Chains A and B, each alone.
Chain A
Amino acid sequence: MVQFWRLFRRNRSAVLGLVILGLVILMAATAHLIFPDDPFRLAGRSMSPPGENGFLLGSDSLGRDVAAGIAHGAKTSLLIGLMATLVAVGLGTLMGGLAGYYGGLIDDILMRVTEMFQTIPSFVFAILLVAIMKPSIESIVIAIAVVSWPAVARLVRGEFLSLRGREFVQACHTLGMSDARIILREILPNCLSPIIVIGSLMVATAILIESGLAFLGLGDPNIMSWGFQIGAGRTLLRSAWWVCTFPGIAILITVLAINLVGEGLNDALNPRLRERT
């Protein structure tokens, strides 16, 4: 662990990313303390510029506080990002692991299925899924997971393919270990690093997809999110720039921070990069 932190620390921008991400998480966690009211609350004069009428970042067309929306929206964005990633990584690891370990017919079938999903443009597919299921937080998580898992599956399959022929795995076979035990106890821990890296980057993508969906009006109408704020403010861009600018900056910073952290994890966890330095 100390070793890991030493390696991670070497990447300055990754540390910066971690700090920013920490702040965003802190903001999400304390949103209900700083802004105890519902972020949808009509808090005052509509379309107040930043700093006026008690609105730090201005208010939107209905008089909702943009700052409160950003704080509460952080919770939604992070939650969706995390949930969708967990589901996608779980599904992807399962499919990729089975395909890579068993090979042959199972591999063929699972990979054709994966390719089928990969041929559909992911954002268009996500729009379709949400539109069919009706917009809600569950359907958005499912949609993002469904379009994200194939990448994980391909990665895990590759790792399993290269690991399954190694001596330590063959030794396990000779010892008479069950397949499940070999997969879970022996091979999986050895390909955890790339999974963690791809997972961390996937959180960022998931936040972007959620924002995109909400921007197009396919967000959960009962939950405040950054994409919702931008979607609701885009028609006002020429008369009230602050309504969609600040949530946009929030998305930019958060996604950037997560990417930096992901990069840092890659540097720290990738043995090949480790040896090079």
Chain B
Amino acid sequence: MSPNPQLNKDGGLRHLLTIDGLPRAILTHILDTAESFITVSEQEVKKVPLLRGKAIFNLFFEPSTRTRTTFEIAAKRLSADVINLNINASSQSKGETLLDTVDNLSAMQADMFVVRHAQSGAAHMIARHVAPHIHVVNAGDGRHAHPTQGLLDVFTIRKYKGEFHNLRVAIVGDVLHSRVARSQIHALTTLGVPEVRVIAPKTLLPTAVEQMGVQVYHDMGQGLKDVDVVIMLRLQNERMRGALLPSAQEYFKYYGLTPDKLAHAHPDAIVMHPGPMNRGVEIDSAVADGKQSVILPQVTYGIAVRMAVMSILAGN
């Protein structure tokens, strides 16, 4: 098995499964390419013909609105044919296995699979299984990785802050269950951000999180002090039921981002959130809608970043 299953023999990106282990040059190439795709949305005809005649299958084994929609828009702006499959509702309920589903769709001349699955490693398994000309993009697998989200987050940071080498970034919330946080941490450290902090109660942090190259804080006042970027994570309601937290109100009191807590950060700090937001749980509306929030630009940039990823993969 090759050292990195995402790369072809020339070191080019064949699949995008995780940011972990990708060289900085590949991340930078994706971000630079995304920059060029921003101008496509300013064209009268918001389309370029790069992936004309290619078939991209969005395989969503787990519900998603924003990610699936932005992948679909990105593929359509590249002139690909997009087929959306919400698999809960079809073959899986008839007992077909994941790889049988993939084989059948490959027989329908698929060129690329965009995969969202509740099971960590699902996209890797598909990538190992498919024919050499087919590319796989992980659109979120279990707790493991959500690489395009991590990339659009660093793209947003670069848009607002310019450089990575002088930044302090804080990631706040449920790091333990968050594939988004893992991808963000890998992207930020690979791109040379010198100080990545995570702020969370102990019950929402993975063991040995420090080994990912982050500094751990349990207090918002200390953790947010002088940071340039605040990334809030979504708190999933089932965490309360799992007894990891006493209540949403209690969580908001200590870890919800309010204007008061944000005042500890650098005055020019930007506030990010991968969505969907729980207003009044992890973020106060005054912050989410405030002038430091870049949450909606993140969504817009997500289209350009996904266009970049899909066109780079298809060309390799």
A, B co-complexed = no
